[in-house]
Structure 1
Amino acid sequence: MNKLCEMQSFVMVVDTGSITEAARQLGTAKSMVSQRIAQLEKRLGSIVLERGRQARLTEAGEVFYRYCVRILSEVEEAEDAVLAFQSSLRGSLRLAAPMAFSIRYLTPILSSFAVRYPELRLDIEFDDRHVNLHEERYDAAIRIGELPDSSLVAKTITANRHIICASPDYLAAHGTPQTPQELSEHSAMLYVNREPHGMWTLPVNNGLESFRVRCRMRTNNGHQLMEAAKAGMGLAILPTFLAAQAIVDGELQEVLAPYAPRGGNISAVYRRSQRASPKLQALTDFLCEQIGSPPLWEQLLAAHSAG
């Protein structure tokens, strides 16, 4: 059996924690993954995985895993180097992307990208958590917001503007806040990935200050924040890529515009070793082309304001 197939299956089992999930992500049968691991251990003469509720590495497995990750990465880089000489992209591209942005914008764009490059196989995972590109075998991830310093390369796709908003009915019933200090008198929805302590951090006088709000709902889903705001439950901080259409339709209204929190950027991030990858270059160029500058949702808001 092909050694690289065995190594790929082994690494995927370690990264996902189970043979079942590894088989799902590899697009093969669970029995095939089990067979590859068994063949690998037989060839090595050593147990590399302890089977159980969750597959765990043995001491020998930890050593072998580190080598496998490096070897598979180098094989992928070698293939990319050859593909750079060809006009058509081939192979696979594994991408992680956030849920809220993907549902509204990224899914049709990635479908068009796949059509443009029919020989390129896309493997896309939608999840708001920050995946580990080094350990989880992703080629790239789409990240939204301020990026921490890291060893990853970041390519900015567009700015990610945030606004504070509420439904017209909520504002009619409870008043429109004029200063951040009035937020303590208002109900609000919190995005737990950004506001785990129940405070909103807003720019005030060239600095940042934190303000407590009356928590009406906590969620890790941007669409839930928006729907709660549209339903009149309170104030919400939303990215304009989510809120734009609701504002145009009169379902939401921006408040406290001078104190809108920073949203960072929408970026594609990838490992430094893949900086010259033609697949990633094609992906980032296509995203920039399709999203536009200014992005589609900001064009929608500008047209609404002008009208």
Structure 2
Amino acid sequence: MSDPVDKLNAMAIFVRVVERGSFSAVARELQTSQPTISKVLQALEARLGGKLITRSTRKLSLTDEGQRYYNECRLILAAVDAAEHSFQSGRERAAGPLKIGSSVSFGRLQIAPRLPDFLKHYPDVQIDLQLSDQNQDLVSEGLDVTFRIGALNDSGLIARLVGNTHRVTVASPDYLRQNGQPQTPEELGRHNCLMFNLLSSQNLWLYTKDTQRHEVRIKGNAQSNNSEAIREMVLGGLGIALSPIWLFSEDLSAGRVSAILQDYSTLSLPIYAVSPANRRQSARVKAFVDYMAQALDKAPELHINK
């Protein structure tokens, strides 16, 4: 392994194995075999004179030396990436695999429908869209970019604001017939309110009117970590929800739900495109984030008066 390029390649493979936690996953990414990945790591360990990774039947673990080497490799590879990007600036083509993360609802309703048009413009990109309603770990899951809605808690990430989504208070006509329609936010305290429990302000709904702020502690007999589950509960007449307007845009048009408390403004939620801090944004990542930012800005279903 005297060739510097081979050394860098081995370091990059080692870093990907650590981040993915799997030899076979990296082999699939690189379109090679698991034995090939194992041989590269064995050769790297032989050159260094020590073990980097210990393998059990369930998972991979770094040795103390492996952890130190992994930290150094990430810095070296980031520096190499930055140098190449500086040299290639303006010439890099958007091509290759692009692994995107998102919540289930946002990915299904806002990202997936836009992929055909994006890929018409960038036919050499291969998309892998991973959906989860838990905050995805970009490094361990090998994500190039993920989309998050709401305030960000992890300051160690590169985040770009790509849009905002207005929220609307909704209930089914059936629920409102049986329980009455609240005229003020304070009246929500007497209603069955459905909580989306991944937001930090899950049981505190905020409204403003004429510069006056209304904070309402809501309660109800159902909650979920999936916004489409909340939608189904609302459609079934179970209660009232405060949700992104794009989740109910078709239901509002069809009369399946009614928007209530429309004289009051609600807090919009920011939409961020988030990338790992130690990984240079490739041309394909930048192209996709730019595309989504433009698409979301023009999307009428994200805005109340647009």
Rounded Cα–Cα distance in structure 1 between residues aligned with 2:142 and 2:256: 41
1:190 corresponds to: 195
Shift of 1:177: 1.7
| Residue of structure 2 aligned with 1:39, choices 16, 21, 43 | 43
Pairing 1:15–2:19 present: yes
TM-score where L is the length of structure 1: 0.81
Q: Which runs of 5+ in 1 are unaligned?
A: none
Local SS of the residue matching 1:163: strand
Partner Cα separation in structure 2 for residue 64 and residue 186 of structure 1: 57
Deviation at 1:74, TM superposition (A): 3.1
Given that 2:99 and 2:129 are in contact with CA atoms closer than 8 Å, whether structure 1 keeps it comes out as: yes
Check whether the contact 2:74–2:278 (CA below 8 A) recurs between aligned residues.
Answer: no
Matched to 2:195, the amino acid is L
Q: Name which of 56, 65, 68 aligns with 2:61.
A: 56
Residue 201 of structure 1 pairs with residue 216 of structure 2: no
Q: How far apart are 1:210 and its partner, in Å?
A: 4.2
- Note the 1:239-258 alignment, pairs <5 A: 239-258=244-263
Residue 232 of structure 1 deviates from its aligned partner by 1.1
What's the counterpart of residue 220 of structure 2? 214
1:263 aligns with 2:268: yes
- Residue of structure 2 in register with 1:296 after alignment: 300
Task: Measure how far apart 1:274 and its partner are.
Answer: 7.0
Is it true that 1:90 corresponds to 2:98 in the alignment? no
AA in 1 matched with 2:147: I
Alignment-derived partner of residue 72 in structure 1: 77
Shift of 1:4: 3.9
Structure 2 counterpart of 1:255, one-letter code: I
Q: Answer whether contact 2:78 2:280 (CA < 8 A) is retained.
A: no
Q: Does 1:224 align with 2:235?
A: no
- Any unmatched runs of 5+ in structure 2? none
Write the distance in 2 (CA, Å) between the matches of 1:65 and 1:273.
12
State yes or no: 1:141 paired with 2:146: yes
Letter in 1 for 2:149: I
Greater Cα offset, 118-127 or 176-185: 118-127
Structure 2 counterparts to residues 116-135 of structure 1, below 5 A: 116-133=121-138
Measure the CA separation in 1 of the matches of 2:150 and 2:187: 26
| CA spacing shift, 1:255–1:76, aligned 2, 3 Å | same
Give the paired residue count.
299
What is the Cα-based RMSD across aligned positions, in Å?
3.2
Task: Give the fraction of aligned pairs with identical amino acids, expressed as a percent.
Answer: 29
Please tell me the residue identity of whatever aligns with 1:34.
S
Partners in 2 of 1:16 and 1:277 — Cα distance? Answer: 19
Distance 2:85 2:121 in 1: 18
Going from structure 1 to structure 2, the CA distance change for 1:17 and 1:163 (only over 3 Å counts) comes to same
TM-score (norm 2): 0.82
* Paired amino acid for 1:289: Q
Q: Is the partner of 1:86 in helix, strand or coil?
A: coil
